[in-house]
Homo-oligomer: A and B are copies of this chain.
């Protein structure tokens, strides 16, 4: 089942755990997971889509649902898995997981709705067609999904 996770995702990013990620309770603080998810999400777009300029366009979170399934510790080896599951007109949906690099055990799972935002005009924008296609190809999404 966890093997399955790895297979469903094409974008894999190893994560470097920092000393400062560990909170008073001895594990990676829940707020840090969102730094991991953010970093992996940005890397996904940098790699899959063309001409992404984060000085002009932002990805803004609209809704995030996260499960914390197993703790991540200072000596854990983990990686972030990211895929786009739906591209709407202005919003899109991401599925992400943090899994053990060694065992593929799922540590956390996150689905989120994001919006593309024009930083110069300060408004949300339509999803570019060439990005949509690149994502469909990369993640193997059929257009009527």
Residues of A within 8 A of B (CB): 14-16, 18-20, 22-27, 29-32, 34-36, 38-39, 41-42, 54-55, 58, 60-68, 71, 74, 117, 119
Contacts and interface: CB of A to CB of B under 8 A. Distances in A.
A107 to B, nearest CB: 12
A135 to B, nearest CB: 19
Contacts of A41: 19
Tell me what chain A mostly uses at the interface: helix, strand, loop, or mixed: mixed
Given A24-B24, A24-B54, A26-B24, A38 B18 contact: yes
A30 to B, nearest CB: 5
Nearest to A17: B39
Contacts of A14: 16
A23 to B, nearest CB: 6
Contacts of A67: 62-63
24 contacts: A14-B16, A16-B39, A19-B24, A19-B41, A20-B31, A20-B38, A22-B24, A23-B23, A24-B54, A25-B54, A25-B58, A25-B60, A26-B119, A31-B34, A31-B38, A60-B71, A61-B66, A61-B68, A62-B68, A63-B66, A63-B68, A64-B64, A64-B65, A64-B68
